[in-house]
Amino acid sequence: MTKDPVNQYPSQDGDGLSQSGQTQPKAKRWPMHLRILIGIGLGLAFGLSSSAGGWSSWVLDWVKPVGTVFVNLLKLVAIPLVLVSLVDGVTGLKDLRKLSSMGGRTLLIFLMTTVCAVSIGLVIVNLLRPGDYLSETKRDELRARFASASAGGLDKAEVFKEEGPLAAVINMVPENIFHALSHNSSMLQVVFFALFMGVAIMTLPASQTNLVRDLFGQLNRVILLMVDMIMVIAPAGVFALISSLIADFAGDNPWEAVELLGALSVYALTVVAGLIVMMLLVYATLLRLFGNCNPLEFFGIMSPAQLLAFSTSSSNATLPVNLECAEKLGVREEVRTFVLPLGATVNMDGTSLYQAVATVFIAQAFGHDLGWADQLTIVLTATLASIGSAGVPGAGMVMLVIVLQSVGLETAGIALIVAVDRILDMMRTVVNVTGDAMTAVLVNRWMGAKSTDKISEA
């Protein structure tokens, strides 16, 4: 008799149910979100002591690789998971028309929430005016110190700008699926191929496709088990990520880092305030009104994905766990496997909000007044720039170049915000992945589910 491998790896929150739908024995371990939180807390303490004790380079040499391996493992399963689970999900659909209406509704929610995020960012930054708190001396100092760091993104943003208005459509259709499968940045192309293949499979009579359907269903279960296996080392992974981040940022002189944070604290708090409004007001209200879902339970179930997004600053790396959380939220397979990979690539509410705040902050710091026309331009370009930002660390700052140029600001102004970008990246990525899951809940309900079964109105 062979042993069931699933039972050796309790699902991430120990609730005894993995995505494969198999019941597992109750695991006697702490819930995943708690273990990740402990990893973050210990990583913070360890990183700070390494910096104060002058051994931050040791952390970078010996601890950082653990975090890198953890993130690589998550990215490793992301593309196979999207391919297999999307084909599996689509072949389970009864009706092809459902697919196009699901696509339309998903894109509509993505667009509306992104525009809402940019608008919230603009209102808050105009109210708090963080740029006025940055002294001229500090501004020039930051400019001189981070000039080279801000130049890096210019080329990538230029390529994006020159590609033309329909570039996104062209880029979605791969000319070689093996090329797409071997590049993490080609997630949309993999989504396209999986949808195409899923539609073809379901168009043929079931008697002719039994083998293929079974194959994808079984592969799906295998990859989900791999995700659970990877999540066993999540606490160690986030510990390594957070401690090395601090060692990197603060070096052996933590006071200098504290001073830098102090100078940019009003700006950073403005971004954080916007992100909080987005989560606690906009998402919570939409979930309550249109998702028939208790926001508190939603955030509770989402916490492993949110903590992972915070630790990795990457929507792509968080995707496998976000898919698992969506399952626990009761989102059906065909919906979550469609909405979440798409969202990880194009729906970045946190990023768009941050880009709006950063642009106006830079304008304020340089004493430029942005009128209504400029602010409207920001709504448009920040929406586009966030769609174009990849789900990887720092992508939002690269695409910020486009927003700055659209209102005639010098791209070198990015030097003013580089110092705190990684910290804000962690926070905006949390909002990015939460927005994707929220959309999945809404679409799930809109597509006919009475409620997200497991978290219906408390």
Q: Which is nearer to ligand ASP, 118 or 201 (CB)?
A: 118
| CB 279 to ligand ASP: min, Å | 14
393 lines the binding site for ligand ASP (CB under 6 A): yes
| CB 421 to ligand ASP: min, Å | 8
Question: How far is it, in rounded angstroms, from Cα 21 to Cα 290?
Answer: 27
Q: What are the φ/ψ torsions at residue 293 (nearest 5 degrees)? A: -135, 135
| DSSP conformational letter for 288 | H
Stretch that binds ligand ASP, among 233-241, 263-271, 320-328, 393-401 (CB under 6 A): 393-401
| CB 122 to ligand ASP: min, Å | 17
Q: CA torsion sign, 339 to 352 to 384 to 163? A: negative
389 lines the binding site for ligand ASP (CB under 6 A): yes
Q: Which is nearer to ligand ASP, 87 or 378 (CB)?
A: 378
- Considering only residues 347, 351, 359, 375, which one is a binding residue for ligand ASP as defined by CB under 6 A? 351
In three-state secondary structure terms, 330 is coil
Map 51-99 to HEC letters: HHHCCHHHHHHHCHHHHHHHHHHHHHHHHHHHHHHHHHHHHCCCCHHHH
Q: Which is nearer to ligand ASP, 18 or 306 (CB)?
A: 306
CB 339 within 8 A of CB 72: no
425 lines the binding site for ligand ASP (CB under 6 A): yes
Stretch that binds ligand ASP, among 67-75, 162-170, 259-267, 422-430 (CB under 6 A): 422-430
Q: Which is nearer to ligand ASP, 99 or 118 (CB)?
A: 118
67 lines the binding site for ligand ASP (CB under 6 A): no
395 lines the binding site for ligand ASP (CB under 6 A): yes
- Considering only residues 428, 437, 440, 449, which one is a binding residue for ligand ASP as defined by CB under 6 A? 428
- ∠ CA 116-283-278, rounded to 5°: 50
- Considering only residues 313, 383, 434, 452, which one is a binding residue for ligand ASP as defined by CB under 6 A? 313
Name every residue whose Cβ is closer than 8 Å to that of residue 228 and which is 6 or more positions away in sequence: 9, 10, 11, 12, 18
286 lines the binding site for ligand ASP (CB under 6 A): no
Stretch that binds ligand ASP, among 49-57, 133-141, 312-320, 324-332 (CB under 6 A): 312-320
CB 106 within 8 A of CB 439: yes
Name every residue whose Cβ is closer than 8 Å to that of residue 97 and which is 6 or more positions away in sequence: none
| CB 271 to ligand ASP: min, Å | 11
Is 288 exposed, middle or buried (CB count within 10 Å of its CB: 0-12, 13-18, 19+)?
middle
List of residues contacting ligand ASP (CB under 6 A): 313-315, 348, 351, 389, 391-396, 425, 428-429, 432
